[in-house]
Amino acid sequence: MKRKFMVSALGALCVLAVGGVFTALAAGGYGSQDDPLVTLSYITDVAVPEANARIDSVFSQKETAIKSDIQSKMDSVRSRLESQISQLQNVSQDVINQVVELVKDQIGSSSGSTWKMITFQNGQQIKAGVGTQLLLRRGTASCYSGMINLSSGEILTHGQSVLQNNMYLIGTDGCGFIASGECTVLVDGTYTIG
Do 126 and 108 lie in one domain? The reply is no
> pTM for the full model?
0.44
Do 171 and 102 lie in one domain? The reply is no
Q: Which of 112, 131, 166 is the last residue of a domain?
A: 112
Q: What is the CA radius of gyration of the chain?
A: 46
Instruction: Provide the pLDDT confidence category of residue 26 given band limits of 50, 70 and 90.
Output: low
Could you tell me which residue, 34 or 47, shows the higher pLDDT?
47
48 pLDDT higher than 60? yes
Q: Would you put residue 189 in left (φ > 0), alpha (ψ -120 to 50) or beta?
A: left
Q: What is the pLDDT of residues 72-96, one digit of tens each?
A: 998 998 888 888 877 776 666 677 7
Q: What is the pLDDT of residues 112-150, one digit of tens each?
A: 558 899 999 999 999 999 989 999 999 999 998 889 999
- Domain of residue 82 covers 34-112
Which DSSP category does 25 fall into?
Answer: H
Q: Is residue 87 part of a domain?
A: yes
Instruction: Provide the pLDDT confidence category of residue 185 given band limits of 50, 70 and 90.
Output: very high
Q: Which of 112, 145, 164 is the last residue of a domain?
A: 112
Q: Would you put residue 60 in left (φ > 0), alpha (ψ -120 to 50) or beta?
A: alpha
User: Are the C-beta atoms of 165 and 137 separated by less than 8 Å?
Assistant: yes
Question: Averaged over 154-172, what is the pLDDT?
Answer: 92
